[in-house]
Structure 1
């Protein structure tokens, strides 16, 4: 069900944006962006709304490919992944109990319990931010206050596409992340859109309305590709503002990626 936890997203000039080819890895990133860009532009022309795609090979310090005009906005329930990792690391048995519904069903009450297990809002925000930093995202500030009273504080964290996929790229390499990654492979049937197009994908979605009621739909995950594992972040803000249109568009993006799986940059944890 749509969660009560995307708000206004900021748009930027169109794709692709990639790291400069100052190293073999960066050169490969540039080649991937060049290969995918034309095909993406064809797909983009059929989608009514703002869209963003970010791709990186799994592994610490991975280079990032970004496509599309959507660049940053509220994390919504995608932030439940680092939140659950932070809580499980505390060692409280209740964290494991709450993590299951928070990840597989995007249960907001369970996520709030995970947040509370971490301590006061400032302490909880730091614990989640520490997980992000450990995965290479050193710029995201986890929201500790309820900026929109009807939604969680952490769900309103402004999380950019590039930093989100950087986190996802290091996710399989993080200590004590394995139980949460396993849960990302057991997503409830009604939330199996987008990256579920990849066999064996581990992913988590997030969605919610901006102040005008228009939905943002996001997803982060790790998928298998011919060259290893690939981290992917997707975001769509349909012109209609409809959640259903958002999930349809994000599924179109994911389906397009499956058709280009041989071109996706793959990696492994070192």
Structure 2
């Protein structure tokens, strides 16, 4: 883990104190192994962010069958389309291994994709435990994966109702959200931020009281991130 510059850490503490959520952010550089992490929230359920490696795995398996479903799964975050992509990968155990292989190829060797529907009616894959550090590392490695280009391009073409947080700033992004087991709601998003020397993989999360509140916090976090990019890019 890369230690945050003191001014950056202080700025993030101010943000965390001002928003009605428990938040976290992780930033990974494509050319550096360590990840910069800030905030109290560090790991939890992937929700729809896992649809990115799922889409890539399905396109690898059968591009013709998967292509239309991938567009819906990424740009609209359509759950039915995502379930159909999952079923195209075989039985749940085989499907999970194929999605996990994509995650590992992008630099995240720690995340195990969930194969069982442990919390009906939610998808098995959506309940994957995905830490912010690991997700930021995945995002940083994604552009180097040649057959991911179609999916990354779709991450820049989200429908209007999906275009918040990083996506509202024109950044290739995918969000995920869902209720917790207590009286809480998790909203998270990851994206690929271009820089002069390459790109950054960024992962954001807000554990709030409701979806709308979480989205508003992710918006504030995206504003903070863009404003702090010069400090974040310091070696």
State the TM-score, normalized to the length of structure 1. Answer: 0.83
Shift, 1:264, TM fit: 3.0
CA contact (8 A) 2:179 2:185 kept: yes
Q: Distance in 2 between matches of 1:46 and 1:259?
A: 16
SS of alignment partner, residue 212 of structure 1: coil
Root-mean-square deviation (CA, aligned residues, Å) is: 1.7
The total of aligned residue pairs comes to 235
Shift, 1:45, TM fit: 1.1
Shift, 1:197, TM fit: 4.3
CA contact (8 A) 2:52 2:151 kept: yes
Shift, 1:218, TM fit: 0.5
Gaps of 5+ in 2: none
Q: Residue in 2 aligned with 1:54?
A: 26
Is 1:230 aligned to 2:196, yes or no? no
Match of 2:211 among 243, 252, 266: 243
Match of 1:263 among 219, 231, 235: 231
Q: Residue in 1 aligned with 2:127?
A: 156
Q: Distance in 2 between matches of 1:214 and 1:191?
A: 21
Match of 1:122 among 90, 93, 96: 93
Q: Distance in 1 between matches of 2:168 and 2:8?
A: 18
Q: Residue in 2 aligned with 1:11?
A: none
Q: 1:197 to 1:152 in 2, by over 3 A?
A: same
Shift, 1:227, TM fit: 4.4
CA contact (8 A) 1:219 1:233 kept: yes
Shift, 1:212, TM fit: 3.0
Gaps of 5+ in 1: 1-17, 20-29
User: Once the two structures are superposed, what CA deviation does each residue of 1:9-50 show, in whole Å capped at 9, x if it has no partner?
Assistant: xxxxxxxxx24xxxxxxxxxx4x5434111111111111221
Shift, 1:63, TM fit: 2.0
Q: Distance in 2 between matches of 1:210 and 1:44?
A: 20
Equivalences for residues 4-83 of structure 1 within 5 A:
18-19=1-2, 30=3, 33-59=5-31, 62-83=33-54
